[in-house]
A and B are shown apart, each in its own frame.
Chain A
Amino acid sequence: MNEIWTYLQQNQSAVLDALGQHVVLAVLPLLIGVVLALPVGYLGVRFGWLYHPILNVSGLIYSIPSLAVFVALPYVLGTKILSPVNIVVALALYTVALMARTVADGLRSVDPTLTEAATAMGYRRTRRLWEVELPLAAPVILAGVRVAAVSNISLVSVGALLGVGGLGALFTRGFQLFYTAPIIVGIVLSIALAAVADLLIVWLQRAVTPWTRAVKEA
């Protein structure tokens, strides 16, 4: 334990920098991915024949190893291999792949009688989507966001093999120096970050879907 405290005191700013980079590299693609997945998932519901193609394509994207994507993206995008843009684009791609299906499933899980009721009350399609369907699908969608957030946080560190990886840099440094302290610090911070992100999203879900609790308490 002492070893770890000494390491933390001596490398405070390096560890904080790695942590900060890790948060940015995980959160930015999460936001981009979720925003892109909403229209894709909606299309899968609005045009039913698109649902299965979307499912297959996203399954295929999801099965490509992230290290492979990190390496291949510079070739496609024309970026430098050490550019953080590759990590952001790759993780955003995975987030879209994961969330498109979740959004579609969430929207499909909305009770049709409720959307019919909204239509009967004079809601047009767009307003019905924003005010009825999306809020009712929120628990399913946010459950998907939890999975995406946690897996993004863990995937960022793989980027360290290419030189950009937030907390992953602590793993490679520890391995090169044959020194456990930075590795343990990196693992603990990475898990803690995932746990905090998970709790934040659960809290968000409770805040935006108060009716789910009201039903349980009744």
Chain B
Amino acid sequence: MDGTPYLLDGANWDWAAPGSIPHLLLAHLGYTALSVLVGFLVAFPIGLLIGHTGRGSFLAINAGNVGRSLPTLGLLSLLVVYLSGRGILPVIIALVVLVVPPILTSTYAGLRSVDPSAVDAARGMGMSPAQVLFRVELPMALPVVFGGLRAAVLQVVATATVAAYVGLSGLGRLLVDGLALNDYGRMVAGAVVVAVLAVGLDLLLGLVQRYVVSPGLTGRGLSRARGPRSVAESGAHPERELAPSKGTS
């Protein structure tokens, strides 16, 4: 690496220059946000339905394996050729396909991991099925659901780099252009920014999770109170049941 490293060169951070790091970062976040949102809207309701009723669990269990084995680069190439372009549509479809399995599987697994006696108690108190789902099952399933969401976001942030391969923007541009120009410093810069973004988003979601998940489940705030042992303290880790998965990027 000669001269100023790509990342530290102020010109590469210039907002006025198209194709500078902030532009690429924004585009990358845009692809990520849009595909996670669409994927969530598709997978979450289906996961709730399957987890609540217990019907179709075969679909939820196997979605994860199929999703893991589908090569995103292949799917994206196929979509671009098949749809002959169409802007960001092929990328978003390919990334949504990546988001759906972990969220579907984790929503299902989360609802299944809820203590049946808690559901029985809620029914016995006269809660309607919707109340049981949204006020008992879902809050208790949240740690596992978050696990799936975080896995999905990690995969999408990593995989959105392939957008550059089909001529779109995003941080993958640094990798693809760097490779084409034999500019190794640029490729390393791209690798570093993507990795930092992935880790940063995961930490952010971890923070959100801390504040969204009920303290009754995490044991937070119980350290001084000498109450009954919480789920976390008693050594049960519902999120363990979900195997982590790695995106195709």
Asked whether B13 is an interface residue with its Cβ less than 8 Å from the other chain, the reply is no
Report the bound CA distance from A16 to B189 in whole Å. Answer: 35
Asked whether B232 is an interface residue with its Cβ less than 8 Å from the other chain, the reply is no
Contact A190 B74 (CB under 8 A): yes
Report the bound CA distance from A63 to B197 in whole Å. Answer: 10
With contacts A65-B198, A175-B77 known, is A167 near B71, CB below 8 A? Answer: yes
Contact A194 B69 (CB under 8 A): yes
Contact A157 B165 (CB under 8 A): no
Chain B's nearest CB lies how many Å from the CB of A145? 11
When each residue 153-183 of chain A gets 1 if its CB lies under 8 Å from chain B and 0 otherwise, what string results?
1110110111000011011101100111001
Report the bound CA distance from A151 to B64 in whole Å. Answer: 11
SS class, residues of chain B in contact with chain A: helix
How many A-B residue pairs have C-beta atoms within 8 angstroms? Tell me: 153
How many chain A residues touch B (Cβ–Cβ < 8 Å)?
A: 48
Asked whether B53 is an interface residue with its Cβ less than 8 Å from the other chain, the reply is no
Residues of B within 8 A of A184 (CB): 78
SS class, residues of chain A in contact with chain B: helix
Chain A's nearest CB lies how many Å from the CB of B204? 12
Partner of A71, one of B166, B191, B246, B247: B191
Residues of A within 8 A of B178 (CB): 71
Report the bound CA distance from A147 to B243 in whole Å. Answer: 8
Residues of B within 8 A of A191 (CB): 66, 69-70
Asked whether B82 is an interface residue with its Cβ less than 8 Å from the other chain, the reply is yes
Contact B68 A64 (CB under 8 A): no
Asked whether A51 is an interface residue with its Cβ less than 8 Å from the other chain, the reply is no
Asked whether B179 is an interface residue with its Cβ less than 8 Å from the other chain, the reply is yes
When each residue 58-81 of chain A gets 1 if its CB lies under 8 Å from chain B and 0 otherwise, what string results?
001011111111011001000001
How many chain B residues touch A (Cβ–Cβ < 8 Å)?
A: 48
Asked whether A187 is an interface residue with its Cβ less than 8 Å from the other chain, the reply is yes
Partner of A171, one of B66, B71, B179, B194: B71
Chain B's nearest CB lies how many Å from the CB of A112? 13
Report the bound CA distance from A186 to B71 in whole Å. Answer: 9
Contact A154 B248 (CB under 8 A): yes
Contact B249 A66 (CB under 8 A): yes
Contact B165 A161 (CB under 8 A): yes
Contact A66 B158 (CB under 8 A): yes
Some 10 contacts from A to B, beta carbons below 8 A apart, are: A66-B248, A66-B249, A71-B188, A105-B240, A147-B244, A158-B73, A158-B248, A174-B77, A174-B78, A178-B81
Binding site for A on B (CB under 8 A): 65-66, 68-75, 77-78, 80-82, 84, 154, 157-159, 161-162, 165-166, 172, 175-176, 178-179, 184, 187-188, 190-192, 194-195, 198-199, 202, 240, 243-249
A-B pairs with lowest CB-CB distance, top 10: A65-B158, A68-B191, A194-B69, A175-B77, A151-B246, A187-B74, A171-B77, A157-B71, A64-B195, A171-B74
Binding site for B on A (CB under 8 A): 60, 62-69, 71-72, 75, 81, 94, 98, 105, 143-144, 147, 150-151, 153-155, 157-158, 160-162, 167-168, 170-172, 174-175, 178-180, 183-184, 186-187, 190-191, 194-195, 198
